[in-house]
Amino acid sequence: MIMLDKERAGLWIKIGAIVIAASFIITLMPAVSGGDLGGFFKSFFQGTSGKSQDTESQARIIELKDAITKDPKDVASLVELGNLYYDAGKYSSAITYYQKSLDLDAANYDVMTDMGAAYHATGQSDKALEIFKAVVVAKPDHAMAWFNQGVVYNSKNDTPNMRFAWERFLVLQPTGDLADQVRQELKTATSGGS
């Protein structure tokens, strides 16, 4: 029978543990610094997992639907429902609630812009553009409607209209992360490549 040398076995176990720990840390570093796993750790340490957030959202949706049943003209609840569905990636449902709120308050340009973004997310870019154009006709200083127009035109590879929309956006909102991203996209479009 072969006997294991405890001293050598202990050394190999320590080396193995170090290799495994180092591999784990190296693998997680990009994710923790800004990826989804970083969000997981943040929610873990805050005591809120993604699953409980989904449960909270579902509970809030039930509350809001109940509020709308009691008061069908509750615009704030309709908008919040639209936002919850949008955030969950259920764009058709978001559109439904955004439209119901707009039927009651047609001049809510933020909701119109959100509805346009939901239409774009469902692949209905022409409908989205129609909405964004209506917003900027009624409210020419609505920065997010200009921004979203640029996004749609960019997705359609319509550089002249994308450039026009984003330049208007930058006039209205010249600073911030979004403005920096737009400038970078415009620079890339000017240089003709990615």
What confidence score (pLDDT) does residue 66 get?
96
In this predicted model, what pLDDT tens digit does every residue of 86-132 receive, in sequence order?
Answer: 999 999 999 999 999 999 999 999 999 999 999 999 999 999 999 99
What confidence score (pLDDT) does residue 19 get?
53
Token pair belonging to 94: 């978001």
Ranges of CATH 1.25.40.10 domains, the chain: 50-106, 128-194
What confidence score (pLDDT) does residue 33 get?
42
Q: Which fold has domain 50-106?
A: 1.25.40
Can you tell me which residue has the tokens 């919850």?
84
Mean of per-residue pLDDT scores for the chain: 82
Percent of the chain predicted with pLDDT > 90: 67
What confidence score (pLDDT) does residue 38 get?
40
What confidence score (pLDDT) does residue 16 get?
54
| DSSP conformation letters of the chain | -PPP-HHHHHHHHHHHHHHHHHHHHHHHHHHHHHSHHHHHHHHHHHT--HHHHHHHHHHHHHHHHHHHHH-TT-HHHHHHHHHHHHHTT-HHHHHHHHHHHHHH-TT-HHHHHHHHHHHHHTT-HHHHHHHHHHHHHH-TT-HHHHHHHHHHHHHTT-HHHHHHHHHHHHHH--SSHHHHHHHHHHHHHHHT--
Is pLDDT at 158 greater than 70 in this prediction? yes
Q: Which pTM does this prediction carry?
A: 0.71
In this predicted model, what pLDDT tens digit does every residue of 12-48 receive, in sequence order?
Answer: 555 555 655 545 455 444 444 444 444 433 343 344 4
Candidate CATH numbers 1.10.10.410, 3.40.50.2300, 1.25.40.10, 3.90.420.10; the one for domain 128-194? 1.25.40.10
